[in-house]
Amino acid sequence: MGMQEYFPVLLFIIVGTVIGFALLAAGRLLGPHRPYDEKLSPYECGFEAFGDTRMKFDVRYYLVAILFIMFDLEIAFLFPWALANGTVGLVGFWTVMVFLCILTVGFIYEWKKGALDWE
């Protein structure tokens, strides 16, 4: 493969970057800039800000977020397998079954530990 085949990709990246920076600069230069106290105040879902904005979150919040990402990625791995199920044969089938068993054991472990309970 020669470098000529990658030129359209390089051109796409350059043009996209230039257009992106041009639009950001145009918005900064042409847009109104009239700050006032209410506009600069912290916004918390329609309520007045209370407490420190750098307050600590409960660890369970992060745990639930990580568990969601982990099990969401499981689905992302299952889609390509489902599309290629006819071509991977029995080896691919049993590989995915081992993958699902490991994830199921992890899910049951997290459930028994109470990681999914929100109090």
Q: Are 64 and 118 in contact (CB under 8 A)?
A: yes
Q: To which H or E segment does residue 84 belong?
A: none
Q: Which residue has the higher pLDDT, 52 or 98?
A: 98
Distance (Å, rounded) from C-alpha 47 to C-alpha 49? 6
Task: Kindly report the pTM of this predicted structure.
Answer: 0.47
According to the model, what pLDDT value does residue 24 have?
Answer: 96
Average pLDDT score over the chain = 83
Question: Is the pLDDT assigned to residue 40 strictly greater than 70?
Answer: yes
Question: Is the pLDDT assigned to residue 18 strictly greater than 80?
Answer: yes
CA angle, 61 as apex, 59 and 65 as ends, to 5°?
A: 120
Gyration radius of the chain's alpha carbons: 25
Question: Is the pLDDT assigned to residue 43 strictly greater than 70?
Answer: no
Distance (Å, rounded) from C-alpha 58 to C-alpha 61? 6
Q: What is the mean pLDDT of residues 57-82?
A: 80
Among 109, 86, 84, 81, smallest CA distance to 97 is for 81
